């Protein structure tokens, strides 16, 4: 009888396990906390890139360093993440999730990736205890230039809180 009780309790605990947040193509992006059905957060990464120059600028703007005529490596996704909407303090060590990619935010708040992206795709920013999914998907390559839109004028800067 005691063995049956343990088996039933174990089954109940397994049923309450975390779920997953999926992209439109069905691939896993991040786990979901079963207790509150929120995306699970990523802890701060100690393996962050240097990436602190020209924070808040559109890295991939026409004629920009990482756009169609790059002076540096071409990016598919790039932007700057801040801790709050004021956009004054960077969020180094945070993680930007783009599809199945996890991009670590550098010291100055910049993040970037040259890896291929298939659009449309969902994104989120996370640094425990915060997790902030983007409301809509990125629909085209132009949407990968995050600071072009999230510049504090067109829309709010990218922020966690």
| β-strand partners of 138 | 121
- Order of strands across the sheet that contains 28-33: 19-22, 28-33, 38-39
| β-strand partners of 95 | 104, 126
Q: Is the pLDDT confidence value at 77 over 50?
A: yes
Q: Is the pLDDT confidence value at 122 over 60?
A: yes
Q: Which residue has the higher pLDDT, 28 or 19?
A: 28
Compute the mean pLDDT over every residue in the chain, rounded to the nearest whole number: 77
pLDDT digits (tens, 9 = 90+) for 25-76: 444 444 444 444 456 789 999 888 876 678 888 888 766 688 776 677 888 9
């Amino acid at each position: 009888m005691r063995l049956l009780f343990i088996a039933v309790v174990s089954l109940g605990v397994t049923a309450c396990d975390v779920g997953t947040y999926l992209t439109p193509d069905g691939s896993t992006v991040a786990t979901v906390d079963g207790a509150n059905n929120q995306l699970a957060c990523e802890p701060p990464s100690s393996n962050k890139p240097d990436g602190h120059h020209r924070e808040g600028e559109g890295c991939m703007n026409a004629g920009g360093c990482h756009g169609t005529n790059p002076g540096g490596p071409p990016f598919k996704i790039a932007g700057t993440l801040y801790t709050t909407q004021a956009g004054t303090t960077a969020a180094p060590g945070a993680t930007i999730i783009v599809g199945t990619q996890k991009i670590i935010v550098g010291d100055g708040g910049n993040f970037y990736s040259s890896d291929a992206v298939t659009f449309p795709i969902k994104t989120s920013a996370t640094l425990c205890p915060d997790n902030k999914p983007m409301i809509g998907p990125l629909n085209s390559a132009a949407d990968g230039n995050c600071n072009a839109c999230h510049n504090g004028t067109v829309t709010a800067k990218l922020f966690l809180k």
